[in-house]
Amino acid sequence: MKRIYVIEDLCNGCRLCQTFCSSLKQGVFSEQARIWILKPPGEERDIPILDCIGACIRPIAEDGTPTCVSVCPTGALYYAEAQQAVELRLTWETARQLQPLFKVIAPWKWPFPWHTSEPAPEMESPTR
């Protein structure tokens, strides 16, 4: 069964998930939702907390993906079966070691090719 999984480090705190979720029942946008972003003081941590199995009352995505997952810009939320969830998590962890870009976005949300071989020690640049 598919569930919603969280990569905390990728959450940028935008609260699209919380805001859209809150609106699904009555068209009212608020902070009351089945997912909320805990922001400990200091503005540096954003922690998604979920109380949901992903069966939106009326998802806004055509394919029925849970709304929070469909609106999340970074891929901090993803929707998968358990085995696939493990694989995806590992994909992100590996990608993050290879490219700094994946500090801010999940590789499955990045629609462009990227360098995948062993990490270079430093980015090269020529001397003039």
- Name the site residues for another protein (rule: CB under 8 A): 9-10, 12-16, 19-20, 22-23, 26-32, 38-44, 46, 60, 71, 73-75, 99-101, 103-105, 109-115, 117, 120, 123-128
105 neighbors 114 (Cβ within 8 angstroms): no
Minimum Å distance from CB 20 to another protein? 7
Residue 41's contacts (CB-CB under 8 Å, 6 or more residues apart) are none
Exposure string of 25-64, with b = 16+ CB inside 10 Å and e = fewer, is eeeeeeeebbbbbeeeeeeeebebebeeebebeebeeeee
Residue 83 or 122: the one with the smaller Cβ distance to another protein is: 122
Residue 83 or 127: the one with the smaller Cβ distance to another protein is: 127
Minimum Å distance from CB 55 to another protein? 18
Residue 51 or 124: the one with the smaller Cβ distance to another protein is: 124
Minimum Å distance from CB 1 to another protein? 27
Minimum Å distance from CB 90 to another protein? 20
Residue 81 or 93: the one with the smaller Cβ distance to another protein is: 93
Residue 103's contacts (CB-CB under 8 Å, 6 or more residues apart) are 9, 96
d(CA 96, CA 93): 5
